[in-house]
């Protein structure tokens, strides 16, 4: 300290926050001078800094602000995703995969419709654990329409009653067994998409369909015996369809290849799927009530991008399981698969 020159005194004062100041300071031994005003200025600066420090200390003591909530995208139209489902070995695997895809999409409401006598614990539990906004519906396909043992899957359209049940609910005819039971209030901006539980969906697809005014369309991969099927677009309008099979169907589009604005569905209360429609005409049975093919709204970069794939899950072989079951040693039936 003794080596400090007189200017050093001020430095010391900066840090020690004294409560009183000498009225005089010394340039050197025995050399008094009046330096009241620089000291006053220094004291004022000190006071300012003390103030700032107490402000900062107070800030530190305050609890941190609540973490910013992700803004609820209120203005986005809701996407109602209608999924028919039925009990089989791979049902849970398919529904877990689909529900986790849907979890990536904001403002989405899942209408899961079971082909069953009543709600099953597997589906009820899965919905409750999904974290999704959902409505659980159930309708059993009438026996006459059910696929017979050994019949190939394409003979009878599957999921017709279930999709129509979802349309009924959207039109205020009730029927929910769990989840959100009230239908969309009048004037709700929304779009409806029929998403089977075995396809593969890119999250981008949902943003393509969200702003649909009437009926929007896009290609579907790995369907109809082709790499993809889809609308042909010229100057931003649908002028035809790329398909190898029955190209003269009014709407040769796959169930996964279109979405319908909810107000349009509500304005045409009799529009629904026809279980008796010939093979490949199920989509047309709904769409011909709703839109002229030339008014289809192309999405996915004028239908040049594939964002949904008609994947099929192989039926698992259960040879060993059956063998063990015959010996009373089958996999524990209490474990849900």
Q: Quick one: which of 83, 79, 158, 81 has its CA closest to 113?
A: 83
**Residue 29 to residue 221: CA distance in whole angstroms:** 95
- Least distance in Å: CB of 71 to ligand NAG? 26
Task: Tell me the H-state helices in 151-297.
Answer: 160-170, 203-210, 262-267, 282-287
Q: For ligand NAG, which residue of 302, 311, 313, 330 counts as binding (CB under 6 A)?
A: 302
Question: In Å, how far from its chain's centre is CA 3?
Answer: 71
> What phi and psi values does residue 221 have, to the nearest 5 degrees?
-85, 150
Are 61 and 90 within 8 A, CB to CB? no
Q: Known binder of ligand: residue 196?
A: yes
DSSP β-ladder status, 108-114 and 133-138: parallel
The 224-243 site mask, x for binding ligand NAG (CB under 6 A), equals -----------xx-------
Compare residues 159 and 231 and give the one whose CB is closer to ligand NAG.
231
Q: For ligand NAG, which residue of 17, 41, 128, 301 counts as binding (CB under 6 A)?
A: 301
- Least distance in Å: CB of 246 to ligand NAG? 27
Q: Quick one: which of 203, 220, 208 has its CA closest to 255?
A: 220
Are 174 and 242 within 8 A, CB to CB? no
> What phi and psi values does residue 166 have, to the nearest 5 degrees?
-65, -40
Compare residues 225 and 236 and give the one whose CB is closer to ligand NAG.
236
Q: Known binder of ligand: residue 101?
A: no
For the beta carbon of residue 299, count every other beta carbon within 10 angstroms: 25
Count of residues of this chain found to bind ligand NAG when the rule CB under 6 A is applied: 4
**Residue 89 touching ligand NAG (CB under 6 A):** no
Q: Known binder of ligand: residue 85?
A: yes
Is 283 noted as a catalytic residue in this protein? yes
The 185-224 site mask, x for binding ligand NAG (CB under 6 A), equals ----------------------------------------
Catalytic residue among 94, 114, 208, 283: 283
Q: Which residues pair with 168 in a beta bridge?
A: none
Binding-site positions for UDP-alpha-D-glucuronate: 84-86, 115, 158, 163, 196-198, 310-312
Q: What residues are labeled active site?
A: 283
What are the residues binding ligand NAG (CB under 6 A)?
235-236, 301-302
């Amino acid at each position: 300290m003794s080596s400090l020159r007189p200017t050093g005194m001020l430095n010391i004062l900066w840090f020690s926050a004294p409560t009183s100041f000498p009225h005089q300071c010394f340039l050197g031994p025995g050399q008094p001078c009046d330096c009241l005003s620089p000291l006053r200025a220094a004291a004022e600066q000190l006071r300012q800094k003390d103030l700032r420090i107490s402000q900062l200390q107070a800030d530190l003591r305050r609890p941190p602000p609540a973490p910013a909530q992700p803004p609820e995208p209120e203005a986005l139209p809701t996407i109602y995703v209608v999924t028919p489902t039925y009990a089989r070995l791979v049902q849970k695997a398919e529904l877990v995969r689909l529900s986790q895809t849907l979890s990536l999409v904001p403002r989405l409401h899942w209408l899961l419709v079971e082909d069953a006598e009543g709600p099953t614990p597997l589906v009820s539990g899965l919905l409750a654990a999904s974290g999704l906004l959902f409505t659980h519906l159930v309708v059993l396909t009438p026996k006459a329409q059910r696929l017979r043992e050994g019949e190939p899957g394409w003979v009878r359209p599957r999921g017709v009653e279930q999709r129509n049940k979802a349309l009924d609910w959207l039109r205020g005819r009730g029927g929910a067994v769990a989840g959100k039971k009230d239908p969309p209030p009048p004037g709700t901006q929304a779009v409806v998409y029929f998403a089977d539980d075995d396809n593969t969906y890119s999250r981008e697809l949902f943003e393509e369909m969200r702003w649909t005014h009437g009926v929007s369309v896009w290609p579907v991969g790995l369907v109809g015996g082709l790499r993809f099927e889809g609308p042909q677009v010229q100057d931003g309008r649908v002028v035809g369809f790329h398909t190898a099979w029955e190209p003269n169907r009014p709407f040769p589009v796959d169930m996964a290849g279109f979405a319908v604005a909810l107000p349009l569905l509500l304005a045409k209360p009799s529009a629904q799927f026809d279980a008796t429609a010939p093979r490949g005409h199920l989509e047309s049975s709904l769409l011909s009530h709703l839109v002229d093919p030339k008014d289809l709204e192309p999405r996915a970069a004028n239908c040049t991008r594939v964002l949904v794939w008609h994947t099929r899950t192989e039926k698992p072989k259960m040879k060993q399981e059956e063998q063990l079951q015959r010996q009373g040693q089958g996999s524990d039936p209490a474990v849900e698969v």
